[in-house]
Structure 1
């Protein structure tokens, strides 16, 4: 059953990132259109300030898009059906207290009535678990976690 959870989490993460990429692209198109219509205005200093603010926002959204595209490329390297016996990208870690999927920093998701953290490989949480295997105890932020399963 947990193996199916891993595939479901993968699909959910992929859908979430695709959605973010689409939102970024729509926002960029909208901002470009706004900058274009601002260019036709002749409001002087106020006009220049508005354009500058739109360019800043456009750059911010473009950075978000680039980050989301990198995350998608990372996801594309993961085989969600592979069962991992060590902590690495694509591992689903089940402990006595938390469940986390090392796929990218997407936050917490609920699936089939259980909460899962989708975390990046570079996160402090994953670093604390590196080198551990099923049955090991891990200390992280004044708490002890027993690794019940790695998938």
Structure 2
């Protein structure tokens, strides 16, 4: 397995864990709402208001995680790009970026990579650049040394 395949697998693992966690949380909240409804004969649903808000929030998080999964499905780890685009591994003079989804730091085979979204501010700066291009982000200037 090449480095991009390992990075893609790390991203899938991250998203699948989030999806499973949100699904579990949604089920727990639904059970709590049902238990509140059964034990509450006076019609006082003050406890359910927060639960419904939490449910709505977790449904949104789940939707966002599913969108991340959809983005990952667009990546072919065997594709080598000449300029920065979705699925690129971008090595610079300061950091290594995997253009995929926002997962943050990924430690792999003794190196550190940052999984970033193409829509993120740094992703937008890197997008369509080539080897040798200079990018400045948060007052840090670096040069793209390799695109895989």
The TM-score bracket by the shorter chain reads over 0.9
Which SS does the other structure have where 1:40 is aligned?
helix
TM-score (norm 2): 0.93
User: Which stretch of the first structure deviates more once superposed, 136-145 or 76-85?
Assistant: 136-145
Q: How does 1:24-103 map to 2 (within 5 A)?
A: 24-42=22-40, 44=42, 47-103=44-100
Q: Is 2:118–2:127's contact at 8 Å kept on the other side of the alignment?
A: no
State which of 105, 127, 139 in structure 1 corresponds to 2:136.
139
Equivalent residue number for residue 3 of structure 2: 5
Cα distance in 2, alignment partners of residues 23 and 140 from structure 1: 33
State which of 114, 118, 122 in structure 1 corresponds to 2:119.
122
TM-score (norm 1): 0.91
Cα distance in 2, alignment partners of residues 82 and 149 from structure 1: 14
Cα distance in 2, alignment partners of residues 149 and 43 from structure 1: 66
CA RMSD after TM alignment: 1.6
Task: State the shift of 1:122 in Å.
Answer: 1.0
Equivalent residue number for residue 19 of structure 1: 17
Write the deviation string for residues 80-119 of structure 1: whole angstroms up to 9, x where unpaired. 1111111111111100110111101111121112221111
Which SS does the other structure have where 2:6 is aligned?
helix
Size of the aligned set, in residue pairs, is 148
State which of 91, 108, 112 in structure 2 corresponds to 1:111.
108
| Large movers: runs of 4+ above 3 Å | none
Write the deviation string for residues 104-151 of structure 1: whole angstroms up to 9, x where unpaired. 111112111222111111111122223321122222222211111101
Gaps of 5+ in 2: none
Which SS does the other structure have where 2:119 is aligned?
coil
Task: State the shift of 1:43 in Å.
Answer: 6.7
